[in-house]
Structure 1
Amino acid sequence: MKPFFFLFSCLFSMTIFAQNTVLPLWPNNIPNSIKTDEKEEVISADIVRIAKVQVPQIEVYLPAKKIATGQAVLIFPGGGYGILAYDWEGTDFAKFLNGKGIAGIVVKYRLPNSKSVTEKHKVPLQDAQRAIRTVRSKAEEWNIDPNNIGIIGFSAGGHLASTLGTHYKEEVYAQQDSIDQLSARPDFMTLAYPVITMGEPNTHGGSRKNLLGENPSQKLLDHFSNELQVTADTPPTFLLHASDDKGVPVENSLLFYTALVKHQVPAEMHIYPTGGHGFALGLQETHLATWTDQWVGWLNNLK
């Protein structure tokens, strides 16, 4: 019976650990949420795609304490505000960061095309603000420096990340507890082939439609064109993009970089001649595979 008991104990411990690493963002009522018959969808094929998120949460990957730097990065997967490329631009990066001693936290945020949400354009930012506040509240428990918490977003997740980085002071939900009294400002941010502008001709039409609807007002377009929202308080930013990106034009990164320089925000940008859209870790192309080295070097040298 002893081997069986040992195996049971191990499995039990693993279950507890797994449960402890996944946290719902909202302890009480989820803002801008209504009950419907809609169900979350998880499709596992070449990558894991999640659609119709009903319960937003964070999935936490912590490095071994022996190598932990105290730095943490919240990860916002892309997917045009229609799905989340959850492993490709999420958990794969969390695991990569752990190898560098950095905590990786994947944010499963609600999508504005869900029929379970009301004010659709506010929903991703609500979850993003709550996510970074939650991580900040757990800093001591997770061996994280509360002043060294950043974000990375990919494609539409890059738009959400840049929205958090420029709209972190915006009150988009009513406070629920003491967590909501903490700052939602990222200490740094990384934007990978991001959607930035909602304006023509460089926006990504699918992301804009899902977030803002068919015929958004000019006021709403400008509000979520994040190159227009940069200030001197915008966090230091690392950008990367490919010139031949047919999904999200490289001009998105160029517009944001120009705004950062104008406001004297520390910025680093890497533009690759080829790579297309959605290359993630870039392991499929030799010339792209080194971008993470550049990124980690930048992370290590942040003041």
Structure 2
Amino acid sequence: MERAASNTDSGEREDAAVRDSLWDRRSVLAGAGALSFAGAVPAVAQGADVGVGAFLTMPLWPGKPPGGARVAATENRVERQPATADGNYIVEHVRQPTLTMLKPAKPNGAAVLLIPGGGYRFVSMGNEGFPVARRFAEAGYTCFILLYRLPADGWSAGADVPLQDAQRAVRTIRSLAPREGFDPQRIGVVGFSAGGHLAAWLATRDVREIAAPLDAIDRLPASVTAAAFVYPVITLRDPVAHKGSREQLLGADAAPARIAAYSLEENVMATPPPAVLVHALDDPAVPYQNSLLMAEALRARKGAVEVHLLESGGHGFGLGTTKPAVANWPELVAGFLGRHGV
């Protein structure tokens, strides 16, 4: 599995220059509330610190994201109820992917990338983004929420465009480790539903470059130390596939070879990172057998794996529910990550 390597002095200077340039274009939340996706909030001066408890959003790519010449859809933010202080909404047709950071009050030296779901049709920032970041920040993690591009919108990378953003996210997080005070070798990923598919794709498959590197950040490793998949989409094969995710990713009439290529249980790397899976037995959208398929695939590769099958909870519970059966999943995940280096 790909690991971070030491840089030469010149490489370090180049990485720092790119990192500082990227952060010059970041946007800060007004308080802990609304995000700026369109750059309406003035950029923060280099070296500014938003402090603990405030979300900070930065563009994932310098300038326009790659491969968007034929993308015509308009990004659309849809508010959901109940309204929350941090925001409860989904984003459709993502044109400007972002990372949103939340610093912990008592850092534990690790970072976690959070990947919300949405069936590859939208990104659910409300229940699987902001509240999850707050819970993991309480446990000491520097948290990053990924707003990623969607595969059916016409990007040149096609089905691989979410992975392109996820790889860029890990590399960006790694580049920020010296500045933000966490260990670049202690980066985990937590993904939900279709975001769980993306997290597993990122974590358990051999790294495959989607495009040539744009800058120094793109040359950093995209590997993670440990992973968590919460009610994940794993297989694209019937009868337990989530058909909506499969159609958004591959189209309505995908060839069997394409379905196999994106069924993650069939494509696990030789040395996968430790992974924990959480799934409700009564999930009506993504059957819990998805988690079992991934667990068996990881075990076959002798990977460390833990599975929590919950009595009830349905699908998409994130942290937007008070259902007692699913209330402690963050502690289960954080415990596993902590035991495995994150």
TM-score if structure 2 supplies the norm length?
A: 0.80
1:40-189 correspondence runs (5 A): 40-46=75-81, 47-64=88-105, 67-115=106-154, 117-189=155-227
Aligned-residue offset at 1:168: 4.9
What residue is the counterpart of 1:227 in the other structure? 265
- The SS at the match of 1:95 is helix
What residue is the counterpart of 1:275 in the other structure? 313
- Quick one: which amino acid aligns to residue 131 of structure 2? D
Conservation of the 8 A alpha-carbon contact between 2:149 and 2:161: yes
* Distance in 1 of aligned mates of 2:320 and 2:168: 30
1:245-256 correspondence runs (5 A): 245-256=283-294
Q: RMSD of the alignment, in Å?
A: 2.0
* Distance in 2 of aligned mates of 1:26 and 1:163: 20
- The SS at the match of 2:253 is coil
- Quick one: which amino acid aligns to residue 103 of structure 1? T
- Quick one: which amino acid aligns to residue 157 of structure 2? E
CA distances 1:165-195 after superposition (whole Å, capped 9, x unpaired)? 1235111111011111111111111000000
- Quick one: which amino acid aligns to residue 328 of structure 2? T
- The SS at the match of 1:125 is helix
With over 3 angstroms needed to count, the CA separation of the structure-2 counterparts of 1:270 and 1:186, relative to structure 1, is same
Aligned-residue offset at 1:28: 4.3
* Distance in 2 of aligned mates of 1:166 and 1:217: 23
* Distance in 1 of aligned mates of 2:70 and 2:97: 14
CA distances 1:231-265 after superposition (whole Å, capped 9, x unpaired)? 33211101000111110011100000011111110
Conservation of the 8 A alpha-carbon contact between 1:282 and 1:291: no
Conservation of the 8 A alpha-carbon contact between 2:64 and 2:96: no
With over 3 angstroms needed to count, the CA separation of the structure-2 counterparts of 1:96 and 1:168, relative to structure 1, is farther
* Distance in 1 of aligned mates of 2:107 and 2:193: 28
- Quick one: which amino acid aligns to residue 238 of structure 1? V
Which stretches in structure 2 are left out of the alignment for 5+ residues? 1-29, 32-40, 82-87
CA distances 1:37-72 after superposition (whole Å, capped 9, x unpaired)? 5321111122311111001110111113xx101111
Aligned-residue offset at 1:296: 1.9
Which stretches in structure 1 are left out of the alignment for 5+ residues? 1-10
1:287 counterpart = 2:335: no
Aligned-residue offset at 1:76: 0.6
Aligned-residue offset at 1:299: 2.2
With over 3 angstroms needed to count, the CA separation of the structure-2 counterparts of 1:212 and 1:167, relative to structure 1, is same
Aligned-residue offset at 1:29: 4.8
* Distance in 1 of aligned mates of 2:306 and 2:205: 21
* Distance in 2 of aligned mates of 1:37 and 1:259: 39
- Quick one: which amino acid aligns to residue 90 of structure 2? R
TM-score if structure 1 supplies the norm length?
A: 0.90
